[in-house]
Amino acid sequence: MTPLRITDRLFFENPRARLEREVAERIVAEALARAEDGELFLEYHESEQIALEDGLIRSAGRDAALGFGLRAVAGEASAYAHASEISEAALKRAAEAVRALGAGGGVHAEPPAGSNQKLYDEANPLDQAPFETRAALLSEIDAYARSRDPRVVQVLASLSGSWQAVQILRADGVRLADLRPLVRLNVTVVVEKDGRRESGTFGTGGRFEYGRITGPETWRAAVDEALRQALVNLDSKPAPAGEMPVVLGAGWPGILLHEAVGHGLEGDFNRKGVSAFSGLIGERVAAPGVTVVDDGTLPERRGSLAIDDEGTPTQRNVLIEDGILVGYMFDRQNARLMKMRPTGNGRRQSYAHAPMPRMTNTMMLAGEATREEMIRSVRRGLYAVSFGGGQVDITSGKFVFSASEAYLIEEGRITAPLKGVMLIGNGPEALKRVEMVGNDFALDPGIGTCGKNGQGVPVGVGQPSLKLSALTVGGTAPA
């Protein structure tokens, strides 16, 4: 059954929905008759979360939401109305609210063209096994973690899953639909030795069925990795402070690229001229060898979508090529205002939110150096394997990130594990300090969520190992 047929049953043939498709098409066409662009976004979203702590299920919930958002766009202005019901009466009220935006004169933007190939299984992962089975698995994870090492004093584990069905209806009658599964497993292990406690965390997930993360080989590997990180942190010492060479690990450290560089390449910030990358298309913004892409078409990845939340097919967008800035990420409105084409990056958290330019899976491509060569080239510096939280100022490009696993490099060798590591720098400047790009490209394990303007959406990141000539390291020990 096609996504359009499945979503028709949800939105136009569902007892909870009181709306005929032909009526919806007529109301949308009338509401957007004088707008330049816009759409009706219909959504059904089902989700569950189960969390274990101290050997007990501490929280569990399952939720379902059904609603729509109607948007009209004219120039830089937009009007948006949404409702948590799908009915003719609710849609008529929304149409009245957005109809006032009529400055566009009815010159409609080019409609999106089709959809991507099938990127993920469309089945609802929440229906593939009983809820009780997943709850019991968390108890198995707890028992396994405690059996691995006597220093384990606490285990936190959680499973979450969702299924989102969307249909997008435009004024010209174009209809597109997508069915989006998403699952995630997280494990945190706390260890204690001589009164000192440290923790390690590992998560994995993607757009596939639960069985991919609930099989013993997957969840045991997650526990083992969380325990390994915790034991490393148990032996860590205070980080030095000062400017020094930094080697970043492959995979999840790409979150620094996402935050410090990726947001600055989103179309709205550049149209408004507030990004550190504004007006720099065609100019060198990174060291030779640095190529950055955003790709929403990777099969089963957390940030992938067959269509974005405006109906535009996602694509592979090259943003920086061999150090030269060649493109930005666009939704429909910002692309039109900048006389560019949409890139499939119009995303929204839910029907209650208007779309805006967002990343999908953002990554730096591989080079030729080995990680060992990078380490050997550093007399004294830092090797950062994994990151926790961070923040960035879009206008200046300045960022601060905490490293959840990091090591000191001394005389070309990895030595002591470090705690309290903060990396401080400027995104555009950091790109120019890339000296070596590794041949070990990896994607993150499927755990990223990106926040922007109060909206959160699932994303992916990736990169090979990188050597930067210098970054400021914040720590408590002298350099």
The reported pLDDT for the residue numbered 394 is 83
Residue 117 has pLDDT above 80, yes or no: no
Q: Would you state the pLDDT for residue 241?
A: 93
- Is 18 or 113 the better-scoring residue by pLDDT? 18
**Strand boundaries in 127-267, DSSP class E:** 152-169, 175-193, 196-206, 237-238, 242-248
Model confidence band, residue 461 (pLDDT cutoffs 50, 70, 90): very high
**What average pLDDT does range 19-48 have in this prediction?**
96
Lowest mean pLDDT among 25-39, 76-90, 389-403, 423-437: 389-403
At residue 353 the predicted structure's pLDDT band, cuts being 50, 70 and 90, is: very high
What percent of the chain has pLDDT above 70?
97
pLDDT of 246 above 60: yes
Q: Residue 104: what pLDDT?
A: 55
Residue 92 is predicted with a pLDDT of: 97
Helix (H) or strand (E) holding 353: none
Measured between alpha carbons, how far apart are the two ends of the chain, in Å? 62
Across the strands, what pairs with 74?
A: 77
Concatenating the DSSP letter of every residue in 86-112 gives -BHHHHHHHHHHHHT--TTTT-PPPPP
Read off the pLDDT band of 18 (50, 70, 90).
Answer: confident
pLDDT at 293: 98
pLDDT at residue 158, as a whole number: 98
* pLDDT computed for residue 259 by the predictor: 87
Residue 120's pLDDT band (boundaries 50, 70, 90)?
Answer: very high
pLDDT at residue 395, rounded to an integer = 82
Type of residue found at 101: L
Closest-CA residue to 290 (of 416, 136, 118, 464): 464
- pLDDT tens for 306-317 read 999 999 999 999
In this prediction, residue 326 carries a pLDDT of 98
pLDDT tens digits, one per residue of 261-305: 999 999 999 999 999 999 999 999 999 999 999 999 999 999 999
Distances 185 to 423, 429, 442, 443 between C-alpha atoms, Å = 27, 35, 19, 17
Position 390 confidence tier, pLDDT thresholds 50, 70, 90: confident
Q: How many CA atoms lie within 13 A of 233 on its CB side?
A: 27
Residue type, 72: A
More confident residue, 183 or 107: 183
Beta bridge partners of 414: 409
Please tell me whether residue 191 adopts helix, strand or coil conformation: strand
DSSP state of 161: E
Tell me: pLDDT of 408 over 90. Answer: yes
Strands 413-419 and 346-347 come out as unpaired
Report, as an integer, the average pLDDT of 124-143.
92
Q: Is the distance from CB of 459 to CB of 304 less than 8 angstroms?
A: no
Distance of CA 401 to the CA centre of its chain: 17
Percent of the chain with pLDDT over 90: 87
Average pLDDT of the chain to the nearest whole number: 94
The region, left, alpha or beta by phi > 0 then psi within -120 to 50, assigned to residue 195 is left
Q: What is the mean pLDDT of residues 30-57?
A: 95
Q: Which residue has the tokens 């002298």?
A: 478
pLDDT for the residue numbered 281: 97
3 state SS of 310: coil
List, in order of start, the domains of the chain with CATH numbers: 3-234 (3.30.2290.10), 238-474 (no CATH)
Q: Return the H-helix or E-strand segment holding 77.
A: strand 77-83
Q: Residue 203, SS3?
A: strand
Reduced 3-state DSSP string for 163-181: EEEEEEECCCCCEEEEEEE
Res. 114: pLDDT tops 90: no
**Dist. CA 270–CA 323, nearest whole Å:** 18
pLDDT value, residue 107 = 54
Taken as a whole, the chain contains a residue count of 479
pTM for the whole thing? 0.94
pLDDT at 391: 81
The distance from CA 1 to its chain's CA centroid, rounded to whole angstroms, is: 29
Per-residue model confidence (pLDDT) at position 333? 96
What is residue 257's DSSP assignment?
H
Residue 479 has pLDDT above 80, yes or no: no
Q: CA distances (Å), 437 to each of 283, 305, 342, 366, in order?
A: 20, 28, 30, 6
In this prediction, residues 48-68 reach a mean pLDDT of: 95
| CA–CA distance, 165 with 185 (Å, rounded to integer) | 22
Q: How far apart are CA 468 and CA 315, in angstroms?
A: 29
CA–CA distance, 270 with 272 (Å, rounded to integer):
5
pLDDT at 478 over 90: no
pLDDT reading at 38 higher than 80: yes
